């Protein structure tokens, strides 16, 4: 288990309850962003397998949501 929480962990843990209480008054774009962040880099968005050119080891990577509000995708964009 990771030693820190990500926004996605919080959304996945509390998002459904929060939306049940407040979903009706939330703007649709907020709901979309929440959803994108929740499924970012999970099997829900599908994935791909990379193979190492040297040792042939296979590595499974999940696709990211590419939402500009997603902290994970923002970070990757900055690193690039
Ligand atoms: Zn993302």
Per DSSP, the residues of 50-65 read EE-TTT--EEEEEPP-
Residue 51 has pLDDT above 60, yes or no: yes
Q: Tell me how many domains the chain contains.
A: 1
Domain that holds residue 57: 7-79
Task: Tell me whether residue 29 is in a domain.
Answer: yes
Ligand 1 geometric centre to CA of 1 (Å) = 20
CA of 68 to the centre of ligand 1 (A): 8
**CB-CB neighbours of 73 under 10 Å:** 18
In a domain, 62, yes or no: yes
| pLDDT digit string, tens, across residues 1-48 | 567 889 999 999 999 999 999 999 999 999 999 999 999 999 899 998
Residue 1 lies in a domain: no
């Amino acid at each position: 288990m990771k030693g820190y929480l990500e926004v996605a962990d919080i959304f996945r843990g509390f998002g459904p309850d929060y939306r049940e209480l407040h979903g009706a008054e939330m703007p649709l774009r907020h709901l979309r962003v929440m959803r994108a962040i929740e499924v970012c880099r999970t099997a829900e968005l599908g994935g791909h397998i990379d193979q190492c050119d040297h040792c042939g080891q296979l590595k499974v990577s999940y696709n990211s949501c590419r939402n500009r509000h997603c902290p994970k995708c923002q970070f990757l964009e900055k690193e690039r």
